[in-house]
Structures are given as structure tokens and as C-alpha cells.
Chain A
């Protein structure tokens, strides 16, 4: 369920005015919404005063969390699969912003192994009572394409706790992508998304009281 933001600003006549922006992303943090509100007002003649979610939660003083700082990755700026140089992947990781996806990080080992780590998903879902798996999937999908060619690399969907990844344009064979999920107890390895040789793999896993199942199909 989408939320809305009410943005208060001061116009050039020093009058307080408000504006409601509908369909705000319920999965993003207060900080992201506040930052958006500030930047939106900065494009106008008005001065930002405060912002709140439609449920009246005041987000004016929201601060960036450690999660948002650490979990940055940017498939939409550089395709990590376009190069065999792990540093390219790492650079992409540093530019990505997954503030709205909980703790998701990408790591590249010296052997060109790329690791997608999904952590604290349950915690994150619990924190965001309006957690929407479809939004979660959409946000991931928005980044899973090759910006040079526009080719979509994969499709990710999530329904009732079952996550599905389907690679249409397989990434470079030298990369092995693995997905991890964890809770506060630590990481749990789930499975390889794509290992360059296996066309399809299935996995089941669990995290706390949340279980996962998915199948990965390389198409084309």
C-alpha cells in the first residue's frame, strides 16, 4: 500500500503552504522521503519547512542510517557484468543506493566471485509495516539491466516469501553470483544465482521464521 507525503514550505509572501505528494514508496526510509521533499521544494521559490508521512509521522529530522550508507549499489550506472575486472563491480557497488531495500550488499572476491548479500530482510520488513515485496522486486529490477545496451539482465519477483530470479541475458561467465540472507544470528548462504555453467538451479532456505524458495532459469 502506497503512502503519501505532506510537504510544508514557506512561500515568498512568508505564508505557510502545504502540498501532498501521493504514491510515495512505502518501502523507503523517512530520510529518503525527507530528502526528496527538500529537493522538490528547492526547485521552487519556496523554502522547505517540514515534511511528514500521511500518517503524520514527522520525518523532518530523519537522518541517514548506517544501512543506507553501507548498502549502496548501482547497476543502473555501470554494468558490473560488462567487465571482467572486479574493481568495476566494486565501483558499481559503491555507487548504488539501496536505502529502500534493507541491507543488500554486493561483494567481489579476487576470484571474480560476486556475492549479493541480503541481510536483515526480516528485520527490515518488520520495521516497514507496509513492506511490499512487489515494490522490493521492482526496485531491484530497476537496477538489473545493462545501461550500455539497455538489455535486461534478470527478472526478480517475490511473492509470499518466495523469490524468483530469471536471467535472460546471462552475465559474464567469470562471475558467480550468490545470494545470502541473514538475521541477527549471521549470514546464511542460500544459493548461487548463476555460476556461468549451470542453466538452472533451485534452492530452498530459511531465515528465522521466513523461508525462501526459488528457481533460477537462464533463458536464451
Chain B
């Protein structure tokens, strides 16, 4: 019975890259990058952060402060299970 229910469920895998941005007022904020490229390098992330610092497309959540840099970038693998509740 359980196996039949599992077959009706949908299991998908994905990953997200979390770039933790720092702001002038000390605020931080995570900018998610959905399905990051497998060949992504730290150099590319740093270049992207430089663009953010130089052009300031985003502002902090608290006081609207400017981006001063990034603290870390982590990739998280996710498994989503959509349960079939029709039974």
C-alpha cells in the first residue's frame, strides 16, 4: 500500500546557491541563485559581487543601505517530494 502511494508522489531534485550579502548598516541578506551552474567558480562569484558593489542594484532590508560585499556563498541541494494526497 505504501509503495503504491510512493509511486504517485513526485520527487524532484534541485539546488540553490545562497549568496550572503553584507550591507553598509551591518544588515545581511541572502540572494538565492536557483540551479547554480555546475562549473561555477569563486572568481565568478567575486566578480558578480564587485558588480553589485559598483552598481548597487539592491538595498538592505532594514535601512536601505548599500551593499559592501559578500560574506559567503553556499550551494544547497534540495529534494522536493510532492505527496499524492488523493488516496
Point out residues on A near B: beta carbons under 8 Å.
2, 5, 11-12, 17, 19, 21, 23-25, 28, 32-33, 35-36, 39-40, 43-46, 74, 76, 96-97, 99-100, 132, 134-135, 138-139, 141-142
Contacts and interface: CB of A to CB of B under 8 A. Distances in A.
Contact of A138 (B31, B61, B66): B66
A134 B61 CA distance: 13
Contacts of A28: 55-57
Contacts of B35: 11-12, 44-46
B68 A142 contact: yes
9 contacts: A2-B59, A21-B31, A23-B59, A23-B60, A24-B58, A25-B59, A43-B33, A134-B63, A139-B66
Given A21-B58, A25-B59, A44-B36, A36 B66 contact: no
B57 A32 contact: yes
Given A21-B31, A36-B52, A39-B48, A142 B66 contact: yes
Interface residues of B, number: 31
Given A23-B29, A45-B36, A76-B53, 12 more contacts: A17-B34, A23-B64, A25-B59, A36-B51, A36-B57, A36-B58, A43-B17, A43-B40, A43-B44, A100-B55, A132-B64, A135-B59
Given A39-B48, A141-B24, A142-B24, A25 B33 contact: no
A141 B25 CA distance: 11
The DSSP consensus for interface residues of chain A is mixed
B78 interface: no
Contacts of B54: 74, 76, 96-97
B76 interface: no
Contact of A142 (B45, B56, B57, B58): B56
A205 B53 CA distance: 31
